[in-house]
């Protein structure tokens, strides 16, 4: 089997690395200290994304994207994930559900989103509905030729930057008919309740939205009534693969920084890497990263080869679970190797250590990933994970 990256794959990797080092790393300290970036900086970064050809990497060229394979998206995400403050988020990935839009929706939402002229956020989670989507209470009721949406959504990542929201709501309040609606943020009845602060520093916000008698037409139904959960699952697969790639990048940057520090830091007349306690930590970090990277790259390559939808969903849970927990362990060791310096916010290792904690929670907690994986074992047997051919065949 060929495990090498193609010249085109490596070119995307180099492009993403150059962008991260030139455009993202220089913003890290200002973002950390101030908690936000000036509007002019965000606008400049948006233009830089387009200039570097990183806009819409997850969509086809026909709609203004870059047409990247899943493996290419992975190597890009890995390089961008090395930036702290989730600065990787300035490189937008228009929601995969938009591919299922009507011709008008693709024209009005997907194409300008790929170009960076519009930006979406996805609203699923609610005060009483997180891992259990059946508890979603946001509803869309039919009134004449309109849909009227009422409800509340939490943790709407990038909701402060977006100009439209993909809202997961139950048609007529029926949990068996979850539906996605395209809601322009300026629509009457849409308001932000608050924007809470979190452990990590994030380049964009995660506001809570309230929808009060928000009216939209049939032209705002995305993918058809009742298909919301199906399309949301597809979005979860893509998001989980992206998180896994970002976690790889964060872990690698932390590992490289820790190894460099352990080589330069002298105590008791010796570099601290000469002490077995430190060298063993570095060895464990290397093993964890290599194992995770092998899995993440393999799953991405299998998706490019036509992996079936159900197996892709199961394997996305594997890579998200493994990579997010790996990154937490690796970066915890990196902080330990740096000692007191590893606890200073000016140190990228400290920031990365906080950044990756959320990766075990959002887009499905580690526990939910285990539920998905366990359910697949129950339904399909162990070979879906232990076999080598696609789907364990």
Catalytic residue numbers?
A: 363
- 10 Å Cβ neighbour count for 217? 10
CA 193/CA 169 separation, integer angstroms? 18
Closest of 163, 215, 160 to residue 186, by C-alpha = 163
- CB-based contact 85:351 (threshold 8 Å): yes
| Beta pairing, strands 139-143 & 146-153 | antiparallel
Which residues does residue 153 pair with via DSSP β-bridges, in sequence order?
A: 209
In contact, 161 and 126? CB cutoff 8 Å: no
Contact 320, 372 (CB under 8 A): no
CB-side exposure of 147: number of CA atoms within 13 Å?
Answer: 26
What distance in Å separates the CA atoms of residue 67 and residue 57, rounded to the nearest whole number? 6
φ and ψ at residue 197, rounded to 5 degrees: -100, 145
Q: With H, G, I as helix, E, B as strand and everything else as coil, classify residue 291.
A: helix
How many angstroms separate the Cα of 29 from the Cα of each of 36, 160, 249, 271, 385? Answer: 10, 21, 18, 28, 41
> How far is Cα 101 from Cα 107, in angstroms, rounded to an integer?
9
Q: Which DSSP string do the residues of 338-388 spell out, in sequence order?
A: HGGGGGSTTSHHHHHHHHGGGGGTTTS-HHHHHHHHHHHHHHH-THHHH-S
- Do residues 289 and 258 touch, judged by C-beta distance below 8 A? no
Please tell me the number of Cα atoms within 13 Å of 345 on its side-chain side: 14
Q: Which helix (H) or strand (E) holds 166?
A: strand 164-171
Pairing relation of β-strands 178-184 and 164-171? antiparallel
Distance CA 263, CA 147 (A): 63
* CA separation for the pair 139, 369 (Å, rounded): 27
């Amino acid at each position: 089997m060929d495990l090498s990256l193609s010249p085109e794959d490596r070119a995307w990797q180099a492009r993403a690395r150059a962008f991260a080092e030139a455009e993202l790393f220089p913003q890290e300290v200002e973002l950390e200290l101030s908690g936000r970036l000036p509007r002019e900086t965000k606008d400049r970064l948006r233009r830089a994304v387009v200039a570097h050809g990183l806009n819409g990497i997850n969509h086809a060229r026909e709609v203004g994207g870059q047409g990247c394979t899943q493996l290419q998206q992975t190597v890009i995400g890995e390089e961008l994930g090395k930036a702290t403050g989730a600065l990787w988020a300035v490189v937008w990935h228009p929601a995969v559900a938009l591919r299922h839009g009507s011709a008008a929706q693709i024209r009005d939402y997907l194409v300008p989103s790929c170009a960076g002229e519009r930006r979406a956020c996805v609203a699923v989670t609610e005060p009483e509905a997180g891992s259990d989507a059946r508890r979603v209470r946001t509803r869309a009721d039919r009134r004449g030729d309109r849909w009227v949406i009422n409800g509340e959504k939490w943790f709407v990542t990038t909701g402060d930057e977006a100009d439209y929201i993909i809202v997961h709501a139950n048609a007529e309040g029926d949990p068996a008919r979850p539906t996605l609606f395209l809601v322009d943020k300026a629509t009457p009845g849409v308001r932000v309740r608050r924007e809470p602060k979190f452990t990590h520093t994030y380049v964009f916000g995660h506001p809570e939205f309230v929808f009060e008698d928000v009216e939209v037409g049939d032209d705002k139904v995305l993918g058809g009534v009742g298909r919301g959960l199906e399309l949301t699952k597809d979005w979860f697969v893509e998001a989980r693969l992206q998180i896994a790639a970002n976690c790889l990048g964060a872990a690698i940057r932390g590992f490289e920084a820790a190894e460099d520090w352990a080589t330069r830091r002298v105590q008791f007349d010796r570099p601290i890497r000469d002490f077995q306690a430190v060298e063993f930590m570095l060895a464990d970090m290397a093993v964890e990263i290599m194992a995770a990277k092998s899995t993440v790259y393999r799953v991405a390559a299998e998706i490019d080869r036509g992996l079936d939808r159900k197996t892709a969903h199961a394997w996305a849970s594997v890579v998200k679970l493994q990579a997010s927990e790996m990154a937490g362990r690796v970066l915890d060791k990196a902080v330990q190797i740096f000692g007191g310096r590893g606890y200073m916010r000016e140190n990228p290792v400290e920031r990365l250590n906080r950044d990756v904690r959320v990766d075990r929670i959002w887009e499905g907690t580690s526990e939910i990933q285990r539920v998905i994986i366990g359910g697949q074992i129950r339904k399909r047997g162990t070979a879906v994970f232990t076999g080598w051919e696609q789907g364990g065949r």
